[in-house]
Amino acid sequence: MFRRAAVKLECVTPNMGLQKIFLNEYGRLRSGFRFLIFAFAFIFITLAVTTGIRVAYALLHNVVPRVPYAEFFQSLIGKVPDLSAALIAGYLCNRLLEGLPWRALGLTLHKQWVRDFLVGSAIGIASLALAALIAIVGGGLRFGLNTAHSPGRIAGALVGSAFLFTFAALAEEAAFRGYPLQTFTRAQLALLGVLLTSVPFALGHLWNPNVVPGVTFANTVLAGIWLAVAYLRTRSLWFPLGVHWAWNWALGSFFGLPVSGLHLVGATFLKAEDVGPAWLTGGSYGLEGGAAATVAVVLSIVITWKLPFVSATPEMMKLTSEEKRVGSG
């Protein structure tokens, strides 16, 4: 009898050990494997959607008449593959790997979503204004009203760029603070999730023009941490989305500075003059490559984490803070 039991144990133990490598105590695939599946699905869907858009453009660009603000719509379409991939891959991973509904991604019109978005937007604008103020006090930046364009054109640019920056920020938030951060958070590995989303987020900006070696990467990692903290406070993408779009809009449209090295808005509200030093202002890359932004973002991380009037709803907290056991309904 003992001999047969020993033989049985020898047969079962290797399988159980292999199972533990892939599955957690809830019977779910471990978060690291879920993250990898999302990454591969994201890349595949991005390529598929990009190919579809290029084929459609090749077939239709000589047929469809040129529309007003073509460059504006081209910029929007350029973000469609990333946004589509992040939302589709995120939903499929939530549903198939964790048994969770669409609303777990944090982009539905849940209770307090308007508050989260508006508070995040206010923090984004205030944080950028703080960075600009630090650069002004340090003698690195000067500002004046932009008289090169009519008030009507400037107003139109402010409104149109707000929409564009929101759409672009949504694509990045869905990709980085969406499923990848959320699945690690459910596995009680939020700090690992912050690291594995903030570093790629920063790496993605290193191909922009006029990058400041070292500082650009460090500041963008800090920005990724800031946005992750905004998500973790509310478990909703509306809060980091507000922070993200508003920072970029204030930087590029209101203050007239480069956004991650790019001049994206022509008719800005203010006209900026950068008189250096570059270590403070970021030089041609813009504030995000200088020490003024470093100080502002670090302070904003602390403020965002300590804000007393933002919190997650009970439903969103439950959907994002614990694993759902297989077969639990």
107-124 residue pLDDT tens: 999 989 999 999 999 999
Residues of the chain with pLDDT under 50: 1-12
pLDDT of residue 19: 81
pLDDT tens-digit series, residues 114-165: 999 999 999 999 999 999 999 999 999 999 999 999 999 999 999 999 999 9
Residues facing residue 144 across a β-bridge: 271
pLDDT of residue 68: 53
pLDDT of residue 164: 92
pLDDT of residue 219: 97
Please state, in angstroms and rounded to a whole number, the distance separating the CA atoms of residues 147 and 150: 7
Q: Which of 89, 75, 105, 107 lies closest to 46 in space, CA to CA?
A: 89
Please state, in angstroms and rounded to a whole number, the distance separating the CA atoms of residues 97 and 15: 21
